[in-house]
């Protein structure tokens, strides 16, 4: 598999998508090179499961290819659309995870296998616990919290992605963050926070 | 909340590069979903295609033909009352003679009768 080419920065994502829809054989490679790392990153940060994140990334890109012939330039940003699709696909996965009860102890491998095994495993376990805690939140809260605190987006950006007002985003993220803190507080021992001297928030 | 903010910050450092397998799957999907190159429609030069396009398709074209035939028939064999109706609508009827009798006599054969 040859590496993905680096697209020229001047060409907007939407123009590449339209070129793809018009049959340009190179457009898909250029667009994937630009957006796939971001899509996979968002899914990974939310799910903390490499295989699930890759499935979500593939599904999000598939939906992008399918919508290409109907894409209207100027109406939406490709990145905004992808943020929304990935957030929705991830909350679907989290809901399924919660329903089927796939928990932390059933995960074979951590996502982040950094050297220094013990510390790496503990970090991975905590990140997975964060993801599991997101699964406990109402979907909109989980999406708003993830976009704000995992993606680092601003409230107005999240408002566009979620099609709600910035004030509603503020409310969702505040309530979601409080709920997450409460859920994780109940797992401090299991996650080793008391071993490494972390302070309670 | 400190633990949570630390976790968020740690998660934000995760940027896993897409593996070759994922890239291959994504591009295979793209190839399978890609519409063919746009092919311009061939110009139709046969028959009444241009007229059909101009009028808006076969239904409109058959309507025009039917109206034309009806007009031709009414002109050739006007139903009773059409002339009276025309007189009422127009107000008067005039007869125009293109070949006055005086002129006609110029062309008459003097050897005739």
- This model of the complex carries an ipTM of 0.84
Find, among B79, B51, B94, B22, the residue nearest to A3 by Cα: B22
* CA-based nearest residue to A151, from A134, A132, A129: A134
**Dist CA A47 CA A51 (whole Å):** 10
- Asked if the model's pLDDT at residue A194 lies above 90, the reply is no
Q: pLDDT of A3-36, one tens digit each?
A: 565 555 668 999 999 999 999 989 999 999 999 9
Q: Cβ contacts (< 8 Å) between A36 and chain B: which residues?
A: 18, 22-23, 26
More confident residue, B5 or B98: B5
| Interchain contact, B30 vs A50, CB within 8 Å | no
A111/B contact by beta carbon, under 8 A: yes
Choice between A61 and B74, residue whose per-residue pLDDT is larger:
A61
- Contact: B38, A181; criterion CB under 8 Å: no
* pLDDT recorded at residue A201: 38
Closest by CA to A146, choosing from A122, A99, A180, is A180
A178: pLDDT strictly greater than 90:
yes
Of B4, B12, B31, the CB nearest to A181: B4
Q: Is A99 part of a structural domain of the chain?
A: yes
Asked whether the beta carbons of A181 and A201 are under 8 A apart, the reply is yes
* Dist. CA A176–CA A133, nearest whole Å: 10
Question: Touching check for A6 and chain B: CB below 8 Å?
Answer: no
More confidently predicted of A8 and A150: A150
Q: How far apart are CA A36 and CA B64, in angstroms?
A: 57
Substitution target in A2, A26, A28 with the highest count of B β-carbons within 10 Å is A28
For residue B56, the tally of other CB atoms under 10 A from its CB is 10
Cβ atoms of B11 and A124 within 8 Å: the answer is: no
Confidence of residue A200 (pLDDT cuts 50, 70, 90): very low
Q: Which of A145-149, A194-198, B44-48 ranks highest by mean pLDDT? A: A145-149
What is the predicted pLDDT for the residue at B107? Answer: 56
Residue-wise pLDDT for A82-127, tens only, equals 999 999 999 999 999 988 876 555 554 555 555 577 778 889 999 9
Of the two residues A194 and A96, the one the predictor is more confident about is: A96
Does some domain include residue A87? Answer: yes
> DSSP of A22-89, one letter per residue?
TT-TTHHHHHHHHHHHHHHHHHHHHH--HHHHHHHHHHHHHHHHHHGGG--TTTS-HHHHHHHHHHHH
Residue A174 has pLDDT above 60, yes or no: yes
Torsion A67-A68-A73-A74 (CA) sign: positive
**How many structural domains are present in chain A?**
1
Q: Is residue A131 part of a domain?
A: yes
The mean pLDDT value of chain B amounts to: 72
Q: Is the dihedral of CA B65, B66, B72, B75 positive or negative?
A: negative
Note whether A18 contacts B: Cβ–Cβ < 8 A: no
Q: What is the pLDDT of residues A33-83, one digit of tens each?
A: 999 999 999 999 999 999 999 999 999 999 999 999 999 877 789 999 999
User: What count of CB pairs under 8 Å joins A to B?
Assistant: 118
Residues in A touching B40 (Cβ below 8 Å): none
CB nearest to A32's CB, from B3, B10, B27:
B27
What is the CB neighbour count within 10 angstroms for residue A194? 10
- Domain range list for chain B: 1-103
Selection from A136, A128, A127, A123 nearest residue A177 by Cα? A136
Confidence of residue B1 (pLDDT cuts 50, 70, 90): low
Query: For residue A26, what are the domain limits?
Result: 13-185
Cβ of A182 under 8 Å from any chain B Cβ?
Answer: no
Span B5-57, pLDDT tens digits: 999 999 999 999 999 999 999 999 999 999 876 555 555 545 555 566 666 66
pLDDT for position B51: 60
């Amino acid at each position: 598999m040859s590496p993905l080419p680096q697209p020229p920065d001047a060409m907007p994502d939407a123009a590449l998508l339209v070129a793809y829809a018009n049959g340009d054989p190179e457009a898909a490679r250029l667009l994937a090179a630009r957006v796939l790392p971001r899509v996979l990153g968002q899914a990974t940060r939310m799910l903390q499961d490499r295989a699930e994140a890759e499935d979500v990334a593939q599904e999000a890109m598939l939906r992008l290819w399918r919508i290409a012939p109907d894409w209207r330039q100027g109406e939406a940003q490709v990145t905004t659309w992808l943020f929304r699709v990935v957030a929705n696909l991830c909350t679907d996965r989290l809901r399924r995870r919660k329903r089927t009860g796939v928990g932390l102890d059933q995960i074979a491998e951590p996502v982040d296998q950094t050297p220094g095994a013990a510390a790496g495993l503990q970090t991975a376990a905590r990140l997975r616990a964060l993801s599991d805690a997101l699964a406990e939140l109402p979907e909109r809260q989980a999406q708003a919290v993830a976009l704000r605190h995992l993606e680092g987006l601003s409230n107005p950006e999240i408002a566009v992605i979620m099609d709600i007002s910035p004030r509603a985003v503020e409310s969702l993220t505040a309530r979601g963050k409080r709920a997450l803190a409460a859920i994780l507080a109940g797992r401090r021992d299991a996650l080793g926070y008391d071993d490494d001297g972390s302070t309670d928030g | 909340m400190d633990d949570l903010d630390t976790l968020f910050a740690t998660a934000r450092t995760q940027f896993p590069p897409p593996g070759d397998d994922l890239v291959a799957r994504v591009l295979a999907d793209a190839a399978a979903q890609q519409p063919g190159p746009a092919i311009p429609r061939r110009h139709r030069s046969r028959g009444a295609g241009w007229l059909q396009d101009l009028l808006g398709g076969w239904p409109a074209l058959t309507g025009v033909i039917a109206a034309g035939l009806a007009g031709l028939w009414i002109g050739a064999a006007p139903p009773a009352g059409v002339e009276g109706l025309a007189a009422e609508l127009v107000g008067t009827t005039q007869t125009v003679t293109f070949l006055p009798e005086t002129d006609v006599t110029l062309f008459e054969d003097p050897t005739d009768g």
